[in-house]
Amino acid sequence: MSQVVTYERQGQVGVISVNYPPVNALSHAVRSGLQDALKKGESDNDARVLLLVCEGRTFVAGADIREFGKPMQEPGLPDVIGKFESSTKTIVAAIHGTALGGGLELALGCDYRVALNSAKVGLPEVKLGLLPGAGGTQRLPRLTGAAKALEMITTGDFVDAVQAREYGIVDAVENGGDVKAVGLAYAEKVLGESKPKRPVRSLTDKVEADKNSSAFDEARAALRKRSPNLFAPFKCVDAVEAAFKLPFDEGMQRERELFMACMESPQRGGLVHAFFAEREVSKVPGLDKNTPVRDVNKVGIIGAGTMGGGIAMNFANVGIPVRLLEVKQEAIDRGLAVIRRNYENSAKKGRITTAQVEERMALIQPTLSYDDFADVDLVIEAVFEDMGIKKQIFGTLDKVCKPGAILASNTSTLDIDEIAESTSRPQDVVGMHFFSPANVMKLLENVRGAKTADDVKATVMTLAKRIKKVGVMVGNCHGFVGNRMLHQRGAEAVSLVNEGASPQQVDKVLTDLGYPMGQFAMSDLAGLDVGYRIRQERRKAGENIPESWTDKLAEQNRLGQKTQAGIYRYEEGSRKPIPDPEVDALIAQYRQEQGIESRAISDQEILERCMYVMINEGAKILEEGIATRSLEIDVIWIYGYGFPAYRGGPMFWADQVGLGEILARVKEFHKKTGGKQWEPSALLERLVAEGKKFGDL
Ligand code: 3H9
């Protein structure tokens, strides 16, 4: 028998233990180990009941995702689970940590389930573009009925042990203790009470009751609204419905067909790439994983505007006290009022309690004086993009902050090294670029300066996890990774409009690709003054940036959603962009002034120009070492800009489109326009010449 699964007997209980760190995933070795251990248990005449339990931090957290896309090695998981269910012996599963996906399916193949109260269970396959493919869609509904099963399987969300008991998924919940001891006690109880074997497949009351339920059509209608572009959630509904319409074995067959369809869909490839990429980015190449981190127990934030306030909330949410600094009392009052409103809205939606609103507000202490930063461990500057002001602020921080305090800037574009030079401690200076709204968006782009100390880099990466963000470490250049690529897309989108496209046509192409909003709706959300100010800074620095129609809008105080008018117009209280004839007229006038003859532009041209310009820039970013791996760019775009995770990120997407095809078009656009943005990246050329992909780097 394989060592990852062992069998031993304790009294009258035969114990099957899985030990396959880190998360006891159901690799081939675990599946065959389970099968062998079961055989041992069945032939052990002194074992009157069997217990399945896991070592380490968790119960089985699912199929081994690393085996996806490779030839399946027997035994398959559905067969192993089938053997547990049809075993001659009654089997108890004892759950701790997270019983997820194939892990929960394995537990559902047992007769009874007991869980520690800290445990969670779920079928998160849909988040990987899949559906539960080892009986989960057939067994879970037999315990929970249609509505709960549909909710769990189509969202992939976990439920805690107490909820799981309410739903009928687990039979008992125990407070704390050692999971094996809890499992043994429950197994003894099964014996003591002579509880019968109870295979889930044989339970029929819930499926009979919900046979004609409207829940399936309702679930499909909700999905058409929530995630119309996703493939797997609809297949999840089909599979669950089969549990109610077909006998168990036929339902299992239907589940298999639907599972294979998901497995083969490109969305599964994209989502699995995104899953691993999110975990890989936390391992920074060149940064020893044992690098010590600095203590961060108190944070100072400069600027109580939209960004500063959002950033403050992240720390208060995890119990870290914040000193929030502004220059004027009104600004601080306004900032705190916005934070309070955000928290109260969360409380209204039931996400936090009213007591938590007060606790979090109490953690955010306002101040008008830098002297209050004397004892903070980290300062994040979040004022607007003006190098002069930032240098002044960092000069002051250098004077007031204690030695070893980390001095971070939330700049979205400016040179971290230049900011660092205004202090006597550039080793403590780093970029921490949050994305708007900072309390919601999961990305934290951490920017290393030339002199940033390793322990500062390690600290900000660890801190990202602590405040529940996905941290990505990048190098220093104008706009870093995300905004540098975004600027290219933005400029191209403006050029497309100059040439004849409408803002709404450009935006639709991007939303059809799966972005939650297009370039222009996003500019309106961020505020047109942001881009305007950046362009003005660059013009001041001597760059030749021609005036565009978006500058004109900003100068007319059409700043986007916040003024209810920008590139689109907005009705009171609504965020829905409405095309505005006034803007069309302004664009037409701009074209006339520039002598541009408007032409019809195809959606395909918009897609290619908006995306390929980004891919070419992304390749240059890799070439320069600003990002070290293409998956960093993917994660930045998924978590910072809403790039559809089911396409795996822009660089993964480019690999699917084909780098040869992209390079050919980049060259054509370069020939046509001579634009620097279309100068082909040397890396892109090399990869195409070698027949390789970004993913091969
Ligand atoms: C499935 O079950 C299909 C079946 O229905 C049908 C089959 C026929 N496989 O997230 P962490 C690795 S689909 C392989 O940092 P945490 C992960 O890459 C599966 N590896 O820890 C990382 O490795 P590394 C359904 C896995 O404590 C390490 O474990 N299940 C798997 O923050 C630690 O992970 C899921 O979708 C896996 N299944 O969170 C569950 N899971 O150290 C996916 C994790 O080398 N997993 N790894 O970077 C999770 O949601 C979280 O990892 C979990 C732990 C909550 C378990």
Each residue's pLDDT tens digit, 42-56: 999 999 999 999 999
pLDDT value, residue 34: 98
Residues of the chain with CATH 3.40.50.720: 299-474
Report in angstroms the alpha-carbon separations of 444 from 48, 253, 282, 439, 619: 54, 44, 11, 11, 21
Residue with tokens 């009874």: 112
Which residue's entry shows tokens 């675990």?
Answer: 30
Phi then psi for 295, rounded to 5 degrees?
A: -70, 135
Rounded CA-CA distance 508/502 in Å is 10
Q: Cα-flanking dihedrals φ and ψ of residue 408, to 5°?
A: -115, 150
- Within 10 angstroms of residue 79's Cβ, the number of other Cβ atoms is 12
What does DSSP say about strands 443-447 and 470-474: parallel, antiparallel, or unpaired?
parallel
**Ligand 1 neighbourhood includes 122 CB (under 6 angstroms):** no
User: Is the predicted pLDDT of residue 2 greater than 60, yes or no?
Assistant: no
Cα(98) to centroid(ligand 1), Å: 10
Q: Which of 575, 567, 574 is nearest to 551 (CA)?
A: 567
Cα atoms in the Cβ-side hemisphere of radius 13 Å centred on 588: 6
Residues of the chain with CATH 1.10.1040.50: 482-625+658-696
Q: What is the three-class DSSP state of 379?
A: strand
CA 61 to centroid of ligand 1, rounded, Å: 6
Verify whether ligand 1 is closer than 6 Å to residue 100 (CB atom).
yes
Give the type of residue at 417: D
Is pLDDT of 205 > 70?
Answer: yes
Phi, psi (5° rounding) for residue 402? -70, 160
Residue 131 CA to ligand 1 centre (angstroms):
15
Q: How far is the CA of 67 from the centre of ligand 1 (A)?
A: 12
Triad 188, 190, 191: Cα angle to 5°:
65
Q: Is the CB of 23 under 6 A from ligand 1?
A: yes
- Catalytic site residues? 105, 125
Do 437 and 575 contact (CB within 8 A), yes or no?
no
Nearest atom in ligand 1 to 61's CA: 56
Give mean pLDDT, residues 441-459: 97
Q: Is residue 501 packed enough to be buried (19+ CB in 10 Å), middle (13-18) or exposed (0-12)?
A: buried
Q: Which fold has domain 299-474?
A: Rossmann fold (3.40.50)
Of 261, 260, 240, nearest to 251 by C-alpha is 240
**How many A from CA of 144 to the centre of ligand 1?**
25
Q: Where are the CATH 3.90.226.10 domain residues in the chain?
A: 5-264
Tell me if 279 CB under 6 Å of ligand 1: yes
Q: In this structure, which residue's CA is closest to atom 47 in ligand 1?
A: 23
98 lines ligand 1 (CB under 6 A): yes
User: pLDDT tens digits for 285-341?
Assistant: 999 999 999 999 999 999 999 899 999 999 999 999 999 999 999 999 999 999 999
d(CA 232, CA 658): 25
Mean pLDDT of 275-283: 97
Give the pair of three-digit tokens for residue 685.
């050329």
Indicate if the pLDDT at residue 545 is higher than 90: no
Average pLDDT, the chain: 96
Banded model confidence at residue 195, pLDDT cuts 50, 70, 90: very high
Q: In which element (H, E) is residue 17 found?
A: strand 13-18
Fold of 482-625+658-696: N-(1-d-carboxylethyl)-l-norvaline Dehydrogenase; domain 2 (1.10.1040)
Report the residue among 23, 67, 126, 140 best suited for mutation to probe ligand 1: largest number of ligand atoms under 8 A from its CB.
23
Strands 429-434 and 443-447 come out as antiparallel
Residues comprising the chain, all counted:
697
Homologous superfamily of domain range 5-264: 2-enoyl-CoA Hydratase; Chain A, domain 1 (3.90.226.10)
User: What pLDDT is stored for residue 1 in this prediction?
Assistant: 43
DSSP 324-343: EE-SSHHHHHHHHHHHHHHH
Q: What is the pLDDT of residue 639?
A: 97
Contact by Cβ (8 Å): 171, 95 = no
Question: Which of the four pLDDT bands, split at 50, 70 and 90, describes residue 531?
Answer: confident
Per-residue pLDDT reduced to its tens digit, 556-584: 999 999 999 999 999 998 999 999 999 99
User: What's the pLDDT at 537?
Assistant: 80
Question: Does the pLDDT value for residue 177 go beyond 90?
Answer: no
Type of residue at 556: Q
| Phi and psi torsions of 298, nearest 5° | -150, 135
pLDDT at 450 over 70: yes
* 482 Cβ inside 6 Å of ligand 1: no
- Please work out whether the CB of residue 134 comes within 6 Å of at least one atom of ligand 1: yes
What pLDDT was estimated at residue 384? Answer: 85
CA dihedral 214, 216, 222, 228 (to 10 degrees): -150
